[in-house]
Structure 1
């Protein structure tokens, strides 16, 4: 077997200290640090995913920290109701109110009957005529001046039906209040002619 001459690397003195990088013993508890970082990263990813999903679905997913703050409920202020003017004798003539009657039903002459009844009761009537449409279902009392709401409400009571509506003055020119009679005005007469069913 071949032999090689010894050199300075074959024999080293005992007092020579270690030189270079050497692994030291692991510190206790370092594994928990890595686990904590992994747990934190998982929590961030889960939270971010849930938040993105809640935004996409527009739903808080039942999680309180995703819920939008509730908007305060605004309670509308009650509108002042006008006292209906039911006695035409108390109506000030200076207000210059005239009442027209339009018949929106297929019953011929109904506008004249209602017009005569209102005139006899003392209401300031103007004219009566058939409406352009004869198949109107509901009765309406239109008024063009907000100050005349009390009279319109009183007419609804006098007719026993009808809904009051504020309209522009050019909708029914020449009359402050216009009554458009609908077929609901004929309902009581139709019911009276029906035979009772057993």
Structure 2
């Protein structure tokens, strides 16, 4: 048989509370938002510290010394274009366009550049026109020849010095296109 105990203070439940047991008080309204706010604040602080650490470790932020100014690169000194009347130029056609070397020869001779001979290059699919010079002291003469050829570049090449030709023009597709009109 069940025993009956006298009523005490633990048996008195306030009105509106349907809980039985430990008789905890109801949770305050908005208590969840306070926990969320603290978690968001902790996240923001940790992200800021992480970004700051990455910036410092990657040398993007330096509190010790002002940034050193980088010296500006020195300009490349090139030789002044000159025409060397004692250096005949070899003109090679590096394209499949017939008569291109002869056309370049006419333009160069009309400009006062002596042309020794013309021929087809060993390759016929070159895209750019280049004036090769054999030694550094011939750069000015090579630039003098290049100024009369549209799209021409100037390069040092000891390959042609070995065959005894100090200045060689190799015509490419860019010259063929520029003179097609």
Same fold (TM over 0.5): yes
Counterpart for residue 102 of structure 1: 92
Distance between the aligned counterparts of 1:98 and 1:133, measured in 2?
Answer: 22
Pick from 67, 75, 95 the counterpart of residue 78 of structure 1: 75
> TM-score, normalized by length of structure 1?
0.54
> TM-score, normalized by length of structure 2?
0.58
Question: Residues 25-40 of structure 1: matches in 2 within 5 Å?
Answer: none
Q: Which has the larger radius of gyration?
A: 1
Distance between the aligned counterparts of 1:182 and 1:117, measured in 2?
Answer: 16
Pick from 114, 137, 140 the counterpart of residue 130 of structure 2: 140
Of residues 133-142 and 72-81 in structure 1, the stretch that sits farther from structure 2 once superposed is 72-81
Counterpart for residue 21 of structure 1: none
Distance between the aligned counterparts of 1:52 and 1:117, measured in 2?
Answer: 65
Query: SS of the residue aligned with 2:90?
Result: strand
Distance between the aligned counterparts of 1:99 and 1:189, measured in 2?
Answer: 19
Query: SS of the residue aligned with 1:158?
Result: coil
* CA separation of 1:171 and 1:81: change in aligned 2, threshold 3 A: closer
Query: SS of the residue aligned with 2:104?
Result: helix
Q: Which runs of 5+ in 2 are unaligned?
A: 1-45
Q: Deviations over 1:149-171 (max 9, x none)?
A: 11111111122330111122557
Does the 8 Å CA contact 2:160/2:166 hold for their aligned counterparts? no
Does the 8 Å CA contact 1:144/1:166 hold for their aligned counterparts? yes
Distance between the aligned counterparts of 2:70 and 2:56, measured in 1?
Answer: 26
Distance between the aligned counterparts of 1:145 and 1:167, measured in 2?
Answer: 8
* CA separation of 1:50 and 1:64: change in aligned 2, threshold 3 A: farther
Query: SS of the residue aligned with 1:159?
Result: coil
Distance between the aligned counterparts of 1:170 and 1:185, measured in 2?
Answer: 21
